[in-house]
Amino acid sequence: MPPRRAAAPLSRTGRSRRASTSTWEKPVAGDLAGALRLLAAARAAGVKHGTVQDKLFLPGFAALQRLCQDGALGRLLEVRLEMGRWIFDGFGRPGQRPSWNYRRQDGGGLILDMFPHWRYMLEGIAGEMRAVSAVCRTHLPWRRDEAGQSYDVDVEDSVFAQMEFAGGVVASVNSSWCSRVRRDGAIQVQVDGAEASAVGVPYACWIQTMERTPNQPVAAAIRPDASFFDDWTPVDLPAGLPPSYRAGWGLFLRHVAEDAPFPFTLDAGVRGVQLAEAAHRSSRERRWIALEPIV
């Protein structure tokens, strides 16, 4: 994808017209080799560089990450991330995403669009990601573009993945542009720990402690007396957070102007592209792919 505007104006190719700063939207490149070349060029030029990681600044996800990092859930056991909504194919109703999202030659595909997000979000919760296993599907093989012309979809629109982390946590990640939402948000992350569980969506977060965990029916077919939503407590959200993109830009501008710390460099962007490439390879080869340290 083209970079968003940074402190120094950027061309569509991502090259700054003044060799001082540059920041990229995700993914920073279409493949790992290209991402590594970009990082090497930025280092050689001596520019301050960054990658957009907007999901970290959404209030619900920020609160969820804080609970995990503060140990409020105890020893972490597993993570479940659900992302999806129904994107119309353009035949009966207009699609809500641009048609290039569904064409390989234009950089489309759900993995390249979303898996760079999943890496930084999940590593902020569970630590270093070590391996991925993924299965891709193209559920809707034909769509209509903005001009009403039909075209073949040659990228995945749904991905079912698992990720392993250094500390033993496993994440199950379902991502789909062909799924109707019945949960609290289009993106929802649940983290189960030995002492408590927490659920985050972009605008809210809830926790269920051991004390509030209900006794549930032994037989799954028995209808419970109360809703499973009843025993969760809202978590206080970080106060004063600006919009998520603005929050990231503010940190980057302080990094440029004041040399303040900025952890979301192109190095982080390279790691997101590595995960996307590994997920594609896993689906092709039908096996787990290790994520070797690269930067």
199 and 78 co-located in one domain: yes
Domain interval for residue 42: 21-52+243-267
**More reliable by pLDDT, 86 or 241:** 86
Provide the pLDDT for residue 227.
Answer: 87
Q: What is the per-residue pLDDT across 267-294, written as a single tens digit (0 to 9) for each?
A: 999 999 999 999 999 999 999 999 999 8
Q: What is the per-residue pLDDT across 13-70, written as a single tens digit (0 to 9) for each?
A: 333 334 466 667 779 999 999 999 999 999 999 999 999 999 999 999 999 999 999 9
**Domain assignment present for 281:** no
**Domain assignment present for 101:** yes
Decide: 255 and 48 in contact? Cβ < 8 Å.
Answer: yes
Query: How many distinct structural domains can be found in the chain?
Result: 2
Q: Which of 248, 243, 219, 215 is nearest to 231 (CA)?
A: 215
Mean pLDDT for the stretch of residues 200-212 = 97
Give the DSSP H or E segment for 131: strand 129-137
pTM of the model: 0.90
43 and 173 co-located in one domain: no
Give 244's DSSP letter.
Answer: H
110 pLDDT above the threshold of 50: yes
218 and 128 co-located in one domain: yes
**Domain assignment present for 286:** no
* 216 — pLDDT class (breaks 50, 70, 90): confident
Instruction: Please say whether the dihedral angle defined by the alpha carbons of residues 102, 129, 30 and 252, taken in this order, is positive or negative.
Output: positive
